[in-house]
Structure 1
Amino acid sequence: MIMPETPKGHPGVAQVAIQMGQTTGKNIYRLIKGEATEPFKYNDKGSLATIGRNKAIADLGKLKFQGFFAWLIWMFVHLISLMGGRNKVIVFINWVASYFTYNGGSRLIIRNFKREELVEKDQQVSQPD
């Protein structure tokens, strides 16, 4: 969002969207109550990025980390941001299992198909009645 104090806008990261959503929700509530709205103020909490096993960076204002410790910070922040204790436990168990088994986990769904059948179905759908 471009504002006088941020002429280049805000970073395109989830933290901006989360904070904007919170401000929007509070402002809708204020409008319902007949109160004045508050302007959006972005609070930069820092940046985290992981680039692989045991490799990450954490830029938390004056504190900067890299490597394994930054990777642990990245994991912790992402775990606590999940909704519900069950989700946190399941994700943590999956991460631990993947870490020790070196299983990256494939998210591909592979099945046999005949290209001719797909082309035929596509033609049927795209032809007007």
Structure 2
Amino acid sequence: MNQDFRNLPQLNFSGLGCWLTLLLTCWLLGSVGLGWLVKSVAILFCLLLVAPIIAWIGFRWWLQKNLVEDQCPVCSYEFTGFSGTECQCPSCGESLKVEGGKFNRLTPPGTIDVEVVEVPVQQIED
């Protein structure tokens, strides 16, 4: 027996049969007049490749439009929230609602929310 037979390069055509069958089927359908079927499968395959890219771009656009980064009106802690949602400040625990790109305090009906303004003291001399 030849002992050097193991050292010869070997070719592996195990996956080639599947591709040849697919190519032969496409050629047969095209020659019979069912080329529209082959074209529709090719278009469907292209759509399946492009759909995740379009979905990713759409998700990024939606996220950029609805994500709001602002400061808490109570403690000035900066954090992120979604537009039109209610959340709590992670620092002080105040209930907030995201409206118009800003965080607003949630207050019960009838509550008047005021901002304090510091007035400098002036002394009057006699």
Same fold at TM > 0.5:
no
- Decide which structure has greater helix share: 1
- Decide which structure has greater strand share: 2
Relative contact order (alpha carbons < 8 A, sep ≥ 6): 1 or 2 greater? 2
TM-score norm. by structure 1 comes to 0.22
TM-score norm. by structure 2 comes to 0.22
